[in-house]
Amino acid sequence: MNITELARILRISPQELRDMLPQLGFAIGQKAIKVDNNTAKKIIKDWPFLRREWEQQKREAEIKKQDEVLPKEKKTIAVPQVITVRAYAELAGIPVNRVLAELMKNGVFTSINEKIDFDTASIIGENLNLEVKAAEVKLDEDRKEDKKLATILAGETAESLKERPPVIVVMGHVDHGKTKLLDSIRQTNVIAGEAGGITQHIGAYQIVRKGRAITFIDTPGHEAFTAMRSRGAKVADIAILVVAADDGVKPQTIEAFRIIEAAKIPYLVAINKIDKPAADLNRTKQELATQLNITPEDWGGKTICAPISAKEGTGIEELLDMVLLVADTEGAALQANPDASAAGTVVESNIDKAAGPLATILVQNGTLRLGDQLCFNDIIYGKVKSLRNYKGEEVKEAGPSMPVKILGLKISPAVGDILTVGEGEKVRTKKIKASAGQAAVIPAASDDNSEDKTPKINVIIKADFLGSAEAIEESLLKLNNEKVKTKVISKGLGYITEGDVKRAEDSGAKILGFNVRMSPAIEILVREKQVTVKIFSVIYDLIKFVKDEMQLLVKPEINRIELGRLKVLAVFRTENTSQIVGGKVLDGVIKNNSLIDVKRGDDFIVSGRLTRLQSGKQDVELVDKDIEAGLKYEGKPLIAVGDILQVYQEERVVNKI
C-alpha cells in the first residue's frame, strides 16, 4: 500500500506517519513510498492504540524537555493567597507551559491569565522543584480592623488575664475521618458522664475532659479556616491533622498542613482507621516524614502521632489527653480577660427565613452578654437578643473560648469577621463592604431594594480546588442580567457537608458540586431536607444547568395580536357565565378560541373568551370581513346589541437569557 494512501485512511500527513511508525516498532524509513499489505492492515487495525501510545510518548518527551528548564536546586518563592498562572511562572522562572502541564496533571484545567490559590500553587510546586511560602500580607487602612483583636489582647495586664479553654480545629484529606472523629469525641464525652453532646449544629461546640473544657471548631472545610486566618484572626490554638492509616498522605493532607503551618499554631497528628485490614502505621509515618517533614515522637521527633479508630472509638480518650498536654505547653497563649468587653470571631453565618441573620461567634476575650451591642468596622451590626450554647440552650452570657449562636443582628457577618462590643454608626446604606468576605446586609424595611424584584437563584458551590470554585462563580455571575440573577451564597472545597445542606435549606439554595461527592449519610439528609444537589465533572454542564434553571424564572412576554372587530346585532341567549350572540364582522377576521374585549362606544365593558364560532349554522374556525356569524362568549354576561367585540389572541414569547 502506498504510504500516502495509508496516511489518508488514518487521517494524518504522510510525513507524520513516517516519523511515528519507527518509534512504534515498524521498520519504515523516512524515504519510504510503500508499505506491505500485512503491515498496513495491522497498522489500521491497531491504530487507536498506536495513536494513544504515540501521543503519550510525545507528552512524556515534552515534559522531559520542559523538566530541563526546572531549577537545578530547590528554589524558594513567596506566593500570595491568589496569583495568576502567568505571574506564578514568572516568579518561579519556569516556562508557563510547564506550569500549565503540572496543573493539568493535578486535575486543574486553566489558562495563563486565570488565578490559582496558594494551596494549589504549593502542591504543584513540589513537582517543579519549588518551595512555596506564603507572601506576607500588608493590611491596608480599610482592613485595620483586622488587627483589633490582637491589639485588645496585647493591651490586657497580666493580673487581668485568666486561663481559658483551648480551641481545636480538625483538618485533613476528605474521607479520612474528620467528621467521624468529631462524632466519636462527642460520643466519648457523653459516655464518660461529662457535659457534652450536641443537639444543634452551630459550627463549634465544647466538651469537658478531666474537668477541663475543650472547644472544637466544626468547620465545613479549609475555606472557613483560611478565611479566618487571612482576616488576621488566630481562631484555633491547636490543630489536629487527620491522616488515614490505610490511605496515607494525600493532596488535601498536604493542603491542610500548609494552612496549619501558615497559621503558626501547634498541631498533633491523629492516624485514623487503624482498625482497617490495610492500615499500615509505619508506612503512614514514613509518608509524613518524607512528604511533610513531620517526624513522630517515637521516631525521635517532636510531633505527637496518636493512632486512633474513630469508628471503633479506640484511642479517642488518649488523643484528648494529648490535646490537653499540648494546651499546657502553650501556657500564657491560652489566657484572656473575662471581665473585659467581649471580642470574638465569626465561625459560622447564615440568614434564617424567620429569624433573620444568625451567627456563631467564638468569644476570644471578655464576656458577651444579652443586650450587648456588636460592631464591626465601627458599624453597628445589632444587639444580642438571644444567646444559645452548643447544646441549643439559652444562656445569659458567654466567656472566653465559648462558642454561642447569636440572634438579633441586623447584618449578616462574614466568616472571619471580628465583632466587638461597643459603639458605632447605624446602618444607613443598603450595602456595606464589611470585609473581604463582603457580608450580606439586610436593608431597612423602608428601603426600596430594587434588587429584590429581580428573580434570583441561590447556589452553593463545592469544588475540588478553590480555583475551580472561583472559575465557576465567575462564570455564573456572567449570566446575570436585568431579568434574572444568580447569587452565590457560599463556595468551598471538599465533600458536601451537613453545614452545606443546612445553609441550602435556610437560603433555598441549590448545591452545585464540581468533582466532589457526598457521603451516604449526607444523601439521606438531602432527601429529608428536600434540598437540590447536583454533581458535575464538566464546568460547561454545570453552567448549562444553572442557565436552564434561570430560564425557568424568566417570565415570557405576552404580545397581543389584533384579529378583527364584530358588531353585535342580536343577543340570542344569556346565562350566568356566558352568552350566545350574533353579529357582522366589521374588519379583519374572527377566529375561534380567541379573546374578546367588549366596547360600548369608547368605553371598555368587560373581557371574555370566544369558545364557539358559527357561520351559516356550521361550526367554523374563521369568519372573514362583512360576513355574519354567531358565537358563544364566556365571561360576565354584559354584552348588549350595538356593542363592538374586539377579537384578539395572545402570543407568549420566551425571553432567552
Please answer whether residues 75 and 129 qualify as being in contact, where contact means their C-beta atoms are separated by less than 8 angstroms. yes
Place of cell 491504530: 47
Closest CA to 546 of 657, 635, 425: 657
Judged against a pLDDT cut of 70, whether residue 448 lies above it is answered with no
pLDDT band at 141 (very low <50, low <70, confident <90, very high): very low
With vertex at residue 276, the alpha carbon angle to CA 270 and CA 282, rounded to the nearest 5 degrees, is: 55
Q: What pLDDT, on the 0 to 100 scale, is given for residue 234?
A: 62
Write the DSSP assignment of 298-323 as a string of letters: GGTSSB-EEE-BTTTTBTHHHHHHHH
Q: What pLDDT, on the 0 to 100 scale, is given for residue 586?
A: 94
> Would the pTM of this model clear 0.85, i.e. be above it?
no
Characterize the bridge pairing of strands 628-635 and 578-588. Answer: antiparallel
Closest CA to 447 of 399, 398, 409, 410: 410
Cα–Cα distance measured from residue 392 to residue 446, given in angstroms and rounded to the nearest whole number? 33
Q: Pick the more confident residue, 552 or 565.
A: 565
**How would you list the strands of the sheet with 238-244, edge to edge?**
204-209, 212-217, 167-172, 238-244, 267-272, 305-307
Closest CA to 346 of 435, 442, 240: 435
Judged against a pLDDT cut of 70, whether residue 504 lies above it is answered with yes
How much is the average pLDDT of 148-160?
Answer: 71
Cα–Cα distance measured from residue 365 to residue 151, given in angstroms and rounded to the nearest whole number? 11
Closest CA to 460 of 388, 397, 389, 513: 513
Judged against a pLDDT cut of 50, whether residue 434 lies above it is answered with no
Conformation bin of residue 193: beta by default, left when phi > 0, alpha when psi is -120 to 50 = left
What's the one-letter identity of residue 497?
T
Name 487's bridge partners.
Answer: 458
For residue 558 the three cell numbers come to 405576552
Cα–Cα distance measured from residue 61 to residue 57, given in angstroms and rounded to the nearest whole number? 6
Q: What pLDDT, on the 0 to 100 scale, is given for residue 354?
A: 64
Judged against a pLDDT cut of 50, whether residue 9 lies above it is answered with yes
Judged against a pLDDT cut of 50, whether residue 450 lies above it is answered with no
Cα–Cα distance measured from residue 218 to residue 359, given in angstroms and rounded to the nearest whole number? 14
Q: What is the pLDDT of residues 402-429, one digit of tens each?
A: 999 898 888 777 767 788 898 876 654 3
pLDDT band at 571 (very low <50, low <70, confident <90, very high): very high
Judged against a pLDDT cut of 90, whether residue 639 lies above it is answered with yes
Q: Give the rounded percent of residues in the chain with a pLDDT score beyond 70.
A: 83
pLDDT band at 116 (very low <50, low <70, confident <90, very high): confident
Q: What pLDDT, on the 0 to 100 scale, is given for residue 259?
A: 79
How much is the average pLDDT of 230-242?
Answer: 71
Please answer whether residues 335 and 309 qualify as being in contact, where contact means their C-beta atoms are separated by less than 8 angstroms. no
Place of cell 483586622: 146
Cα–Cα distance measured from residue 488 to residue 480, given in angstroms and rounded to the nearest whole number? 11
Please answer whether residues 568 and 581 qualify as being in contact, where contact means their C-beta atoms are separated by less than 8 angstroms. yes
Q: What pLDDT, on the 0 to 100 scale, is given for residue 85?
A: 84
pLDDT band at 432 (very low <50, low <70, confident <90, very high): very low
Distances 643 to 277, 279, 604 between C-alpha atoms, Å: 90, 90, 10
Q: What pLDDT, on the 0 to 100 scale, is given for residue 220?
A: 44
Q: Which has the minimum average pLDDT: 156-160, 212-216, 296-300, 637-641? A: 156-160
Judged against a pLDDT cut of 60, whether residue 279 lies above it is answered with yes
Distances 281 to 173, 242, 285, 349 between C-alpha atoms, Å: 17, 13, 6, 39
How much is the average pLDDT of 126-142?
Answer: 68
- With a CB cutoff of 8 Å and minimum separation 6, the contacts of 641 are 568, 569, 570, 571
Judged against a pLDDT cut of 90, whether residue 579 lies above it is answered with yes
Per DSSP, the three-state class of 645 is strand
Q: What pLDDT, on the 0 to 100 scale, is given for residue 232?
A: 38
Q: What pLDDT, on the 0 to 100 scale, is given for residue 231?
A: 42
Cα–Cα distance measured from residue 392 to residue 574, given in angstroms and rounded to the nearest whole number? 66
Judged against a pLDDT cut of 70, whether residue 266 lies above it is answered with yes
Q: What pLDDT, on the 0 to 100 scale, is given for residue 32?
A: 81
How much is the average pLDDT of 364-386?
Answer: 88
Closest CA to 206 of 393, 3, 390: 390
pLDDT band at 150 (very low <50, low <70, confident <90, very high): low
What's the one-letter identity of residue 57?
Q
Q: Pick the more confident residue, 186 or 596.
A: 596
Q: What pLDDT, on the 0 to 100 scale, is given for residue 154?
A: 66
Four-residue CA torsion sign, 387, 390, 392, 397: negative
* Counts for the chain of helices (H) and strands (E), in that order: 17, 33
Exposure string (b/e) for 477-490, b if CB count within 10 Å is 16 or more?
A: eeeeeeebbbbbbb
Per DSSP, the three-state class of 430 is coil
Q: Pick the more confident residue, 259 or 285.
A: 285
Q: Which has the minimum average pLDDT: 372-376, 431-435, 528-532? A: 431-435
Judged against a pLDDT cut of 80, whether residue 595 lies above it is answered with yes
- For the chain, what is the mean pLDDT? 80
Q: Give the rounded percent of residues in the chain with a pLDDT score beyond 90.
A: 26
How much is the average pLDDT of 229-248?
Answer: 76
Q: What pLDDT, on the 0 to 100 scale, is given for residue 67?
A: 59
Q: What pLDDT, on the 0 to 100 scale, is given for residue 353?
A: 54
Characterize the bridge pairing of strands 305-307 and 267-272. Answer: parallel
Q: What is the pLDDT of residues 320-370, one digit of tens each?
A: 999 999 998 876 678 888 988 899 888 776 666 567 778 888 998 999 999
